[in-house]
Structure 1
Amino acid sequence: MRLTTDLRAVLERTVGEADTAAAVGSGSLPVLGTPVLLAWCEAATCAALEPALDAGETSVGTRVALEHQRPSAVGAAIELSATVVHVDGRLVRLSVAAREGQRLVASGEVTRVVVDAQKFLARLG
């Protein structure tokens, strides 16, 4: 594991009908649903950390703060970015942002912890 604050990832997604608030049960409007937006932001955090993980390691989310500031219609192209801003051993905080063109759609912070995947799953039993 080589966690540093220079880790970053950018993903692109297009809002589809299945991504709307109406489709995911987080409202009644045909706009990007906050739960979907959050999942996309978390995917960006995973992508940012992936190159630094050793074989058998993964990261799990432990805290999320996300402000969904503007609506996005079906068909909108959304750019999601995640940047590591703090590392404390296996705990990592990442700044996240979602943009539609130059418009900021959402921003926030996601905290993840790097774990051994097998050991983590063994705790479930």
Structure 2
Amino acid sequence: MKEIKIGSVLTKEITVTDDLLACHVGSGIVNVYATPMMIALMENTACECLNPFLDEGETSVGVMMNTTHDAATPAGMKVSVTAEITAVDRKKVSFSIIAKDEKDVIGKASHDRFVVVKEKFETKAQSKLQ
């Protein structure tokens, strides 16, 4: 793992499509951007923000996500998520994340990820099957 720069930021943008709506993913019956899909985009943005600091064979895994979903977003509207590295404690990296649509801040999160060696991590998980 390379030295991780606090304050590093990454923004990703998507357009809300029908397959991202609560009524399609099973998190409700309304035709608005689903909370689990917003959280997935938040986690993916944080993951990609951290990737440049990882060595070959390393990856990161999410271990905590504390999220609010504060405003509804209809299909067709763009959503952007910005993740910022706020703290590093050995292999634990903390993020502040904000999601916005074209009108409002729609969600906020604090998120922690741990840097792991991918092969070792997956081997340990697979050992549960034995």
TM normalised by structure 2 equals 0.93
Q: Which digits, 9 at most, give the CA deviation of each residue in 1:48-85, with x for residues without a partner?
A: 10111111110000000010000000011001000001
- Report what 2:36 is aligned to: 35
TM normalised by structure 1 equals 0.97
- Superposition CA RMSD, Å: 0.9
- Residue identity in the other structure for 1:21: A
**2:67 paired with 1:60:** no
Larger radius of gyration: 2
TM alignment of 1:24-103, pairs within 5 A: 24-101=25-102, 103=104
Quick one: distance in 1 between partners of 2:37 and 2:11?
16
Residue 108 of structure 1 deviates from its aligned partner by 1.1
- Residue identity in the other structure for 1:69: D
CA contact (8 A) 2:58 2:115 kept: yes
1:123 match: secondary structure: helix
Q: Which digits, 9 at most, give the CA deviation of each residue in 1:29-54, with x for residues without a partner?
A: 01000000000000110111011111
Residue 103 of structure 1 deviates from its aligned partner by 1.5
Give the 4+ runs in structure 1 shifted more than 2 A: none
- Residue identity in the other structure for 1:16: T
Quick one: distance in 1 between partners of 2:33 and 2:41?
11
> Structure 2 stretches of 5 or more lacking a match?
none
> Structure 1 stretches of 5 or more lacking a match?
none
Residue 101 of structure 1 deviates from its aligned partner by 2.7
Aligned residues: 125
Quick one: distance in 2 between partners of 1:13 and 1:77?
6
Quick one: distance in 2 between partners of 1:33 and 1:50?
26
Quick one: distance in 2 between partners of 1:3 and 1:36?
27
- Report what 2:18 is aligned to: 17
